[in-house]
Amino acid sequence: MDKPRIQDDLYYHVNQEWLEQAVIPEDKPTTGGFADLAVEVEKNLIGDLNEMVASGNIPNDHLRYACRFYEAVKDVKARNKAGIRPALKKHNKILKLANMNAFNRNLKELVLSNYVLPFSIDVDCDMKDTNKHCVMLTGPSTILPDTTYYQQGKEQTHDMMIGLWSQMAAGILAKTRLSAEEQASFIQDAIKFDAIVAKLVKSSEEWADYPAMYNPMTTRRVASLLKPIKFRRLLQQLFGQAPERIIVADPRFLKGFSVLFNEENFELYKHWAFVKGLISSCSLLSEQLRDLGGSFSRALSGIAAMPNPEKHAYQTVSRIYSEPLGIFYGRKYFGEEAKADVVAMVKDIIATYKVRVQNNDFLSPETKEKAILKLSTIDIKMGYPDKPRPIYDKFVFEEGLSAYEIMQKLLRIDAEDRFSKLYEPFDRTQWGMPGHMVNACYNPFNNDICFPAAILQAPFYSIKQTKSQNLGGIGAVIGHEISHAFDNNGAQFDEMGNLKNWWTKEDFKKFGQKTKAMIKEFDGYELPWGKVNGTLVVSENIADNGGMAVTLEIMRNLKGANFEEYFTNWAKVWCMKAKPEYLSLLLSVDVHAPAYLRANMQPRNFDEWYSTFGVTKKDKMYLAPNRRVGIW
Ligand SMILES: [Zn+2]
């Protein structure tokens, strides 16, 4: 295929040759950009873990337990020998619950041991007082990845997906002692229960609205809606003293709870929880069960094969012991010189951001002042933390446990730790991501940005790249994360991360109009694998737009700036080859626009795109000036 002109398609112009020769690994849904770096990190850390295990030379106690867990997961022989037994031992407990009374009597244990429950309770930071914790209540997840798959018009996809899921469940239940009829009826019951859940819980689009998650209700009211659950007693058992109010993330679910969970549906619930519990256990059981248990999600993402046992062991351990491994990774692979360089870049970008806010033409001086205060207080977390959170001191277990037992133990320790924190101050020093993750994030509840060591590599960043290239790569990512402080969600939180309006009425209205324009720019855009939902992806697009705006501002003042290098590297970081199934799944659940669109849409909003490449009305990547969107 001929390479398109850059003026018609920046993404393909830059990436086509690569896309033609790139091969998606059989155990992954994508390759390119972020995914390639992640594969490299995985390869390095697997090598390191193997070396630690072989030599016995392990840098610290946290990693000693991580290594022990790694070896247990890698021990295919032991996992195969135990088969499904460890998971049955746990989840049979659900089947043995004789009635609602028995359920209530065991509820604390069911919560702390991570059983599948008809509601989810957790301790999190209080959005309106982020120095404190609160109890958060949400509904359970659905079998299909989003509630929109249950809507009218989606019957074909729904039935196909439920069919795949049932096939997986049947394969797993065949390993139990249940009769063939029981197996079939368990699956039918689970699907029936799930259909009710799907009517009540939020869609991905609804979850993308953070302030809508904050619905404080009195404990008395919540308890009355949760009947027949003895909710107040559960709170007393979990926290000693029941809190006076609960934050309900999903009020529609709570209001409809009695339709879902009642004496009549109790058997449906048990079968749903049992089947879901077994499926979620599979990854630490025999290889055959691991294959079965992952088959549904692999099919949804078009992944050809499961990861080999070594990679699987690494992936499992790196999720649990994420901070100790991230610190190890950062210390070994990330230079102090790079850290200092990127921190300076962040400070420069924040300073430029302030100037842009000061000069912006739609805000009043009052709102500008608050926005600048928020910029001044952003906490920068760069590379990796000095030490892991205290929970890792608790992540200990005796020798000789199976992979499944270790996981159960660690999850229990984690749950107990979270629940014990309700009346303690919230720890604002926590990092949102570990050092070995190829990603970056902004936390609106903490007003902090986090850049793990693993993303500070080419093509995002390199001391060897030009300043223009780095600005189009990591610079735009840094600007993106800062802009999350002022996206449709972030804008509603103040400099301390509290959900609080700091805007004048008029300014917020103008901001709302700009948000709408951004939704419109992406909404309904047709790709070969489906249509974009502009509302679902709006916060990320506002962030991309702000990231590009602030880095182009720096480029304008940069001696020797090369805009061609800037835009080319911008297109390069979004380079991604993915399975069609995965791309279509992302359109339903991902708050980010497809990588192709991220690369190609934002440049059209900026003058430099037109001046650098002489883009005119005749070119495909032209947008009339009145349709260009600029917010920050
Ligand atoms: Zn983002």
Instruction: Tell whether the model's pLDDT for residue 399 goes beyond 90.
Output: yes
- CATH number at 321-389+430-627: 3.40.390.10
What is the whole-number distance in angstroms between the Cα of residue 355 and the centre of ligand 1? Answer: 22
Quickly state the pLDDT bin for 161 (edges 50, 70, 90). very high
Residue 125 host element (H or E): strand 120-126
Write down the domain spans for the chain: 118-284, 321-389+430-627
For Cα atoms 276, 280, 286, give the angle at the middle one, nearest 5 degrees: 120
Q: Residue 532 Cα, ligand 1 centroid: separation in angstroms?
A: 17
Proportion of the chain above pLDDT 90, given as a percent: 97
Residues 411-424: tens digit of each pLDDT:
999 999 999 999 99
Geometric angle at alpha carbon 207, from 159 and 514, rounded to 5°: 120
Give distance in angstroms: CA of 565 to centre of ligand 1: 23
- The rounded distance, in Å, linking the Cα atoms of 127 and 134 is 9
What is the value of pTM for the model shown? 0.94
pLDDT tens track for 268-294 = 999 999 999 999 999 999 999 999 999
Assigned CATH class of 118-284 = mainly alpha
| 507 noted as active-site residue | no
Please identify which of the residues 9, 194, 205, 544 carries the catalytic annotation: 544
Distance (angstroms) between ligand 1 centre and the Cα of 518 equals 15
**Are residues 254 and 230 in contact, defined by beta-carbon separation less than 8 angstroms?**
no
* Ligand 1 centroid from CA 544, angstroms: 8
Strand partners, 448: 379, 443
pLDDT value at residue 229? 97
- Could you tell me the end-to-end alpha-carbon distance of the chain, in angstroms, rounded to an integer? 38
Token digits of residue 338: 């790079």
Spatial separation of the C-alpha atoms in residues 571 and 163, rounded to whole Å: 39
Say which residue the tokens 């446990």 belong to: 401
Is 544 annotated in the active site? yes
Give pLDDT tens digits for 353-387.
999 999 999 999 999 999 999 999 999 999 999 99
What are the pLDDT digits (tens) for 524-542?
A: 999 999 999 999 999 999 9
pLDDT score at 336: 82
Q: Are 278 and 172 in contact (CB under 8 A)?
A: yes
Cα of 535 vs centre of ligand 1, distance in Å, is 14
* Distance from Cα 567 to the centre of ligand 1, integer Å: 19
In this model, does residue 576 exceed pLDDT 80? yes
The residue ranges of DSSP E strands in 385-534, in sequence order, are 441-443, 448-452, 526-527, 530-531
Cα–Cα distance for residue pair 212/225, rounded to 1 Å: 19
Of 42, 194, 481, 507, the catalytic one is: 481
pLDDT confidence of 258, banded at 50, 70, 90?
A: very high
